[in-house]
Amino acid sequence: MKKSVLFRTVCIALTVIMAAFMFAACGSGGSGGENNAKEVKGETKTWGRYTILVPEKMELSGGNVLDPEDPTVVTVRDTDSVLHYVMCTIFPEESCKSSVEGTKESNSGEDVTIDINGVTWTGTKYTWSGSDGFSMYAQIDGEWVLASGFYHAYDSEITRAILGSIKVSAAE
């Protein structure tokens, strides 16, 4: 009987401690509509038609698998994982919308909208294999840009900094 009471007491204590750590880890991040991101340090770089912030411990690559010189595609990814990225592609508005809808349907995504530096991004967020993902689009400098990312949430400081830094030059 003593073991049973002691076991229950230890289990309850551990549960309370774990719950306290989980709530503490959640923090008090702002809502998706706010633009209250802290400054993310990095370097502004140019690739193709983009000028974009590349945060510290991240790298820039341009183009895509089919065309490594494609000036309409740029990816900023963590230096230690190619799966942690934010990728931007210039597309017609309807292609952006259909891509976001496809991502939403295939990943049971949730609609999101976020304003960053006066630009409204519309799209979907989802979780896959325990990590955050997103697909959103916005009009920047007269061009429609589709941004997709994995590991960095759509409203994380890094994503806000990258998307908020984008400048698109005219097509040559």
89 inside domain: yes
Domain that holds residue 98: 42-168
Q: Tell me the per-residue pLDDT of 94-153, one tens digit each, with 9 for 90 and over.
A: 999 999 999 999 999 999 999 999 999 999 999 999 999 999 999 999 999 999 999 999
> Residue 10's CB: how many other CB atoms inside 10 A?
10
For residue 166, the model assigns a pLDDT of 97
160 inside domain: yes
Compute CA 111 distance to the chain's CA centroid, rounded to the nearest angstrom.
14
State the CATH number of the domain containing residue 121.
3.40.1000.10
Task: Determine the Cα–Cα distance for residues 93 and 25; give it in Å rounded to an integer.
Answer: 38
For residue 128, the model assigns a pLDDT of 92
3 inside domain: no
The SS3 assignment for 3 reads helix
Q: Is the pLDDT of residue 24 over 60?
A: no
Per-residue pLDDT averaged across 75-87, rounded?
Answer: 94
pLDDT-derived band at 172 (thresholds 50, 70, 90) equals confident
For residue 30, the model assigns a pLDDT of 35
Q: Is the pLDDT of residue 16 over 90?
A: no
Q: Tell me the per-residue pLDDT of 34-73, one tens digit each, with 9 for 90 and over.
A: 444 468 999 999 999 999 999 999 999 999 999 999 999 9
pTM over 0.75: yes
Strand locations in the chain (E)? 42-47, 50-55, 58-62, 73-78, 85-90, 110-116, 119-128, 131-140, 143-150, 167-168
First-to-last C-alpha distance (Å) of the chain: 81
- Residue 170: in which H helix or E strand, if any? none
For residue 14, the model assigns a pLDDT of 37
Task: Determine the Cα–Cα distance for residues 10 and 29; give it in Å rounded to an integer.
Answer: 32
The SS3 assignment for 69 reads coil
87 inside domain: yes
Give the total number of structural domains in the chain: 1
1 inside domain: no
154 inside domain: yes
Characterize 18-35 residue by residue with b for buried, 16 or more Cβ atoms within 10 angstroms of its Cβ, and e for exposed: eeeeeeeeeeeeeeeeee
